[in-house]
Structures are given as C-alpha cells and as structure tokens.
Structure 1
Amino acid sequence: MSDPTRLPGAFEHRWSWQFEGACRTVDSSVFFHPANERGAAAQQRERLAKEVCARCPVLARCRQYALDVGEPYGVWGGLTEDERRRLIAAATP
C-alpha cells in the first residue's frame, strides 16, 4: 500500500505533470490488473500499458513518483509492480 506521508503534497506544481500523461486517454484497466489475472493475459495487458508509457512525455516523472511513494499497484512510468519492487530492493542497502 502507498505510504501517504511520502506523497508529494497538495501543491499543484508537484503533481500537475499528471495532466500531461499519455495514460489520461486510455482506460485505467490497461494499467491495473483485475483479480487473479495471470499468464498471457497479464503479459498482454502489461505490454499494452508499456506501449502507452513509451510514448508518454512525462514517463520519467511518473516513474520517479511511483518509486518515491512506493506505489504498490499498476504500471507507472513503464514499470510493473514487480519491476518497481526489484528496483527499490536493489537500491536498499
């Protein structure tokens, strides 16, 4: 679960980048898996989400946000939940 104490706060300039996200025109189900999704279905959905992220003008900011707040769900900044967990674990001494 996200740690709300690590969220960027109420200042619009800290989160307004989200208005520029390529994901805003795509159904959120592409980025967040349904219960019990596995195998080929999960891989296909994640591939579609990453295609959207690859053309996103705020990919780097989105990725950093997800890593900073420990976002536990969905594809953010072109990274899946597992990919973010591995990056965070690798950076932790």
Structure 2
Amino acid sequence: MHMENEMSAFMNPDDDRPWAARSECRGEDPSLFFPGTDDDPSLGLAICARCPVRQECLDYAIEARERYGIWGGTTERQRRRMARRSA
C-alpha cells in the first residue's frame, strides 16, 4: 500500500510541488520511476535527464527525504550517498 501512495503522489502536482505540472514524467507509467529491486531504472533516469524541472524535483526529494523511487534523476542509493556526504 505504501508504494501505491508514493506512486499516486508522484503523479499529481500539489502545493508543495507546483513544478511537477511541467515535469517530463507527468503522464508516464509511474512504475518506470519506482522500479523493483531487479528492474532496470535506466528508462526512468533517461526521462529525468531531459526534464526541465529536474533540479526542483531533486531538491524536493532531498528535503522530503523520499526513500523510494527515482526523483530528480537520482535513485534511492544515490540520494542516500548525497545525504551522507552533506552530513
């Protein structure tokens, strides 16, 4: 159920994420951005690479401590590394 909530929130802009209305991922299959352990994240990352709001998305993910999914062109593991470096 948690992953369904994450995917639903990911798809819909809100007051905290007005930039999401301009995102490249809007309208895409959310599972591209929440790959399973054995799934390849490269398609989701490629979509992020051309996104005009990539930095806003990454900033949001770091601030909100998003634990799952691809946000701002980064995987969970990459964001954890970034957090450790900045601590």
TM range (shorter): 0.7 to 0.9
Partner of 2:61: 66
Partner of 1:50: 45
In the alignment, the residues of structure 2 paired with residue 25 and residue 52 of structure 1 have an alpha-carbon distance, to the nearest angstrom, of: 12
- Give the % identical residues: 38
In the alignment, the residues of structure 2 paired with residue 71 and residue 15 of structure 1 have an alpha-carbon distance, to the nearest angstrom, of: 13
Uncovered stretches (5+) of structure 1, i.e. residues with no partner: 1-10
Tell me the TM-score normalized by structure 1.
0.74
Uncovered stretches (5+) of structure 2, i.e. residues with no partner: 1-13
Tell me the TM-score normalized by structure 2.
0.78
Residue 23 of structure 1 aligns to a residue whose secondary structure is: coil
Q: CA RMSD in A?
A: 1.7
More helix by share: 1
Partner of 1:6: none
For 1:1-93, list aligned pairs within 5 A: 12=15, 14-34=16-36, 37-38=37-38, 42=39, 44=40, 46-92=41-87
The letter for the 2-side match of 1:26 is E
**Paired residue total:** 75
- Structure number with the bigger relative contact order (C-alpha 8 A, sep ≥ 6) is 1
The letter for the 1-side match of 2:54 is L
In the alignment, the residues of structure 2 paired with residue 29 and residue 64 of structure 1 have an alpha-carbon distance, to the nearest angstrom, of: 21
The Cα shift of 1:69 comes to 1.1
